[in-house]
Amino acid sequence: MLLTINMGNTRTHALCYQNGHKSPHYATATLPQVEHYLDWLRTITAVAPTRILLASVVPPAATAFSRAVRELWGLTPELVKPREDLGIRFTAVDYLHDLGADLFVNAVVSYHDYGGSILNVDLGTASTFCVIKEGLYLGTSIVPGMELSIRAMIQGTALLKDFSLQKMDRVVQDNTTACLQSGIYYGYFELVRGMIARIQAEAGPLQVVLTGGIGTFLHEELDSFVDYFRPELTLEGLHLIAQLLPVLE
C-alpha cells in the first residue's frame, strides 16, 4: 500500500492507494507533534503501508510525522524535493532549491496529464499561480490566502470579531459580520479571476488547473475561468511520482 501525504502550512492531507483503489481523503491539522500524527495515522489505516511519499512545506511538522511513522510502522517516509528528471525543466527560475514541494508535484502531474501550457492555481494558506510552458517551469506569483487575510484583518483591528467564510448573495451588506464576509468572498474571487486574466495576458493562452482548500470553496464561482478542478492534485501527483520512480534518491 502506498500512503501519500501533502503537508501544508495549515492542514495535512492523505490518500492511500492499494491494488488500483484510492481511499477516502483524510485531513488533519499540521502540527509539530509526534503524538498528533500517531493518533491520526491509526485512524487512516490498520495496515502498514509499504511506501510513504511526503510533500511538506513545514520542516518541523515533517520531522514529527517521520518520527511517528518510524515508531508506528518502522518506515521512513520518502521526502519529495524538486528535481529535473520527471518531465519538467526549471532552467528559467533561480529558486529551484527553495521551490515548495507541493508546487513541484503539482507541476509534474499537471504537465503529465494535460501537457502544453499550464497555469496551476493552488488556493490554500497562500495562493500560488505557477506557469509551465511546454515542460519549462517559468515561475510563480504568490499572494496571502483568503483565511490568512481574515486572520491578519482580525489581529490588526481593535473592534472586529472573528468570522467564518461564507458564500454571499450580494456585495453590499447591512451588518458588520456580513460586510466582512462579503468583502472577503467577492474580493478574493475578483483577485483570483484578475490574476488568471493578467497571467494569461502576460504568458499567453494557458490551461488553468485549480486546486487547494480555498479552491474547493470557490471552484463553482471560478468555473468559467478554470479548465480543470483537481481538489486532490498534489496527492495524485505523489501517486504519479511513486509510479515513475520506484525509489526516491
- Pairing, β 11-18 against β 26-29: antiparallel
**Phi-psi sector, 19: left (phi>0), alpha (psi -120 to 50), beta:** left
- Say how far apart CA 130 and CA 184 lie, in whole Å: 23
Residues 6+ apart with CB under 8 A from 153: 160, 180
CA nearest neighbour of 52 among 60, 103, 44: 44
CA nearest neighbour of 103 among 193, 189, 118, 77: 118
Does the annotation count 227 as an active-site position? Answer: no
- Say how far apart CA 141 and CA 129 lie, in whole Å: 5
CA nearest neighbour of 113 among 233, 245, 235: 233
- Say how far apart CA 210 and CA 232 lie, in whole Å: 10
**Phi-psi sector, 220: left (phi>0), alpha (psi -120 to 50), beta:** alpha
Do the Cβ atoms of 182 and 170 come closer than 8 Å?
yes
| Neighbouring C-alpha atoms within 13 Å toward the C-beta of 24 | 5
- Say how far apart CA 191 and CA 126 lie, in whole Å: 13
Query: Which one from 39, 85, 98, 102 is the annotated catalytic residue?
Result: 102
Instruction: Kindly list the catalytic residues.
Output: 102
